[in-house]
Structure 1
Amino acid sequence: MHRSAPRLSRILACATVPVMLVVAGCSSDSGDAKASDSSTSPSAQKSEPEVEPAKFTELPDACTSIAKKTIEDLVPKTKTKGGTPGKSSDTTSRGGCSWNGLDDNGVKGSQYRWLDVGFTRFDSDQSLGSGAKRATDEYTKQVSKAQATEGAEKPAAKPVAALGEQATAVTYGLTKSKEDFEYATIVARTGNVVVSVTYNGAGFAGAKTPSAADILKGAQKAAKEAVAAVGADAGSDTSSASPSASASASASAKS
């Protein structure tokens, strides 16, 4: 019987060791888990939201963005009917075209007209912002620039309805080479593209200066066509850029 006491003591001592180890292990694991959770939790690792993709990836041909009939109406006796394209190193981001003409009526005087259209497109950039935001900033700059035209007489700006997502018309008079010109500039934004149209005219050799209302009306007509050309160009890009859509359309045609 005297041998049972030491044996019982050894059993009890061994039995308590696992309990202590388990408790210690649980305490250590709990701390590590909390540390791990605090460093790898998705909510702890916040990332910047991605910018909205640019709506338009290309620009229309500026010289064909306005109908030939409109050019004939606004710029009689056009020197270059196809327009004079502006110089651009990247036609997917910037483009322009202009027309001018002199309708010479001899002793009755002559009427001069000049029309210019310009497109500026912006891509979305994580550090610079979305294409639409960047275009909005450019839109504001172009409106301010038109209002600050050197020598402008009685400049006035007013919003234009139903033209892109936002549009402003800037009108003013300007005297050049002792002739009185009437100017109208329409700046519009559609998605990530800014469209600018400037139309002006003057009467030479005693002919009357065109009215500000007529010049503004002509500028608005050209601007509507230019803005519509951006949307039309994007529509054709979308259909051609989707292989599945093209395949589906082809299958439907065959059936």
Structure 2
Amino acid sequence: MSEGTMQRAAERQQRDRRDQREQRVKGLHRVLVCAAAVPVMLIAAGCSSDSGSDDAAAADSSAKASASASASASPSPTVQAAVYKSLPKPCKVLAKKTLEDLVPKAKSGKEGSSDDASTRGSCSWSSLDNNGVKGSQFRWLNVSLLRFDSDVTRGSGEELAQEYYQSQLQAARSVSGAKNTKSEPVAGVGDEATAVRYDLKKKEGSFKQETVVARIENVVVTLDYNGAGLAGEKTPSADTLNKLAQKAVKEAVAAVTAENGSGAVGTPSSTPSKSATKAPSASASKASSSPSKSASKKS
């Protein structure tokens, strides 16, 4: 090998070694750059994840705070408590003298059945004055008491009593077969009172019917009174029956007030009452809405 050839070979080997060193340096530089980029990406990802969690927690906390504020801003429903808490015994609401005037031959009253004496009750009296061949005078009297408790789902006891008061009047004014129906307000009896009168023809005779419905606070008193002249006896005067019926209903209303003392105004109540959800007893409603049928049976 010539000297020139050997020199070129040595130069070529030096270039190769220099190229290898440069490649190793470049490779190391790339590794360092990538290694430095990895923490930056991890940090960015971590920040993004933490930010999302914080936002979700903040939103959840805000929703809970809003719900709590809404709950505290909506007070529990209340309703004015009923004034009267009890009822007198129905067969004791009228004085002995009053009974003698209305049903002179009645020996005692017959109390109607009731599943709750504190909310409903009734009593009826029947009188037959038999004059033999001259005929007889028949009288029938019924007093019905119904008390309403306040209920947050239905309203106050007074509102419920007002509704029932109107329904009783409607029933009295629409009796099947009634003639000459008239109604008039009755002054000085409870918070409101109305008397309804009509004539009713039965096979036993001609009956004169008086129904007086009165409301005092959360209690409704319905008094039914009728009379007839049987077997040729003279038919009683409607005005006389009306006057006696109004006198009796005043006593019944007074008995309700006396039973409850001074009748202090009730305080708001937030709990429903079981008594308010009960419907009037069948015996009380039947006696109030169709007394003349009972009168006919007893005659």
Q: What TM-score range do you get, normalising by the shorter chain?
A: 0.7 to 0.9
User: Alpha carbon RMSD of aligned pairs, Å?
Assistant: 2.4
The TM-score normalised by the length of structure 2 is 0.64
Larger radius of gyration: 2
The answer for unaligned runs of 5 or more in structure 1 is 1-27, 239-255
Residues 108-117 or 194-203, more deviating: 108-117
Contact 2:208 2:228 in 1 (8 A): yes
Match of 2:115 in 1: 89
Residue in structure 2 matching 1:101, options 127, 151, 156? 127
How far apart are residue 46 of structure 1 and its match? 2.7
Identity %: 49
Instruction: Give distance in 1, aligned partners of 2:76 and 2:188.
Output: 34
Asked whether 1:152 is paired with 2:184, we answer no
Match of 1:54 in 2: 82
Asked whether 1:76 is paired with 2:104, we answer yes
How far apart are residue 161 of structure 1 and its match? 1.0
The code of the aligned residue for 1:91 comes to A
User: How has the CA–CA distance of structure 1 residues 166 and 101 changed in structure 2, closer, same or farther, with 3 Å as cutoff?
Assistant: same
Instruction: Give distance in 2, aligned partners of 1:144 and 1:38.
Output: 50
Match of 1:200 in 2: 226
Instruction: Give distance in 1, aligned partners of 2:162 and 2:263.
Output: 23
Contact 1:38 1:44 in 2 (8 A): no
Instruction: Give distance in 1, aligned partners of 2:233 and 2:253.
Output: 33
SS for the counterpart of 1:235 is coil
User: How has the CA–CA distance of structure 1 residues 48 and 162 changed in structure 2, closer, same or farther, with 3 Å as cutoff?
Assistant: farther
Contact 2:204 2:230 in 1 (8 A): no
Instruction: Give distance in 2, aligned partners of 1:193 and 1:140.
Output: 13
Instruction: Give distance in 1, aligned partners of 2:145 and 2:72.
Output: 43
Asked whether 1:170 is paired with 2:196, we answer yes
Instruction: Give distance in 2, aligned partners of 1:198 and 1:35.
Output: 62
Match of 2:274 in 1: none
Instruction: Give distance in 2, aligned partners of 1:62 and 1:181.
Output: 25
Instruction: Give distance in 2, aligned partners of 1:223 and 1:230.
Output: 11
How far apart are residue 49 of structure 1 and its match? 4.5
- Output one character per residue of 1:185-216: Cα deviation in whole Å (capped at 9) or x when no partner: 00011111110001100011211111110111
The code of the aligned residue for 1:125 comes to D
Instruction: Give distance in 2, aligned partners of 1:100 and 1:106.
Output: 18
Match of 1:185 in 2: 211
Contact 2:210 2:242 in 1 (8 A): yes
Contact 1:164 1:190 in 2 (8 A): yes
User: How has the CA–CA distance of structure 1 residues 45 and 236 changed in structure 2, closer, same or farther, with 3 Å as cutoff?
Assistant: closer
The code of the aligned residue for 2:147 comes to R
Contact 1:187 1:194 in 2 (8 A): yes
Contact 2:127 2:138 in 1 (8 A): yes
Contact 1:183 1:198 in 2 (8 A): yes
Asked whether 1:128 is paired with 2:125, we answer no
Asked whether 1:138 is paired with 2:164, we answer yes
- Output one character per residue of 1:71-111: Cα deviation in whole Å (capped at 9) or x when no partner: 01111211x32x00001111111100000111112233211
Asked whether 1:222 is paired with 2:248, we answer yes
Structure with the higher fraction of residues in helix conformation: 2
Match of 2:19 in 1: none
Match of 1:118 in 2: 144
Instruction: Give distance in 2, aligned partners of 1:185 and 1:158.
Output: 11
How far apart are residue 175 of structure 1 and its match? 0.9
How far apart are residue 47 of structure 1 and its match? 2.8
How far apart are residue 157 of structure 1 and its match? 1.5
Aligned length: 208
How far apart are residue 43 of structure 1 and its match? 10
Instruction: Give distance in 1, aligned partners of 2:63 and 2:176.
Output: 65
Instruction: Give distance in 2, aligned partners of 1:222 and 1:197.
Output: 8
Residue in structure 2 matching 1:211, options 237, 242, 251? 237
Instruction: Give distance in 1, aligned partners of 2:60 and 2:211.
Output: 67
The TM-score normalised by the length of structure 1 is 0.75
- The higher-RCO structure (CA 8 Å, 6+ apart) is 2
- Output one character per residue of 1:140-177: Cα deviation in whole Å (capped at 9) or x when no partner: 11110111111111111121111110111110000112
How far apart are residue 181 of structure 1 and its match? 0.5
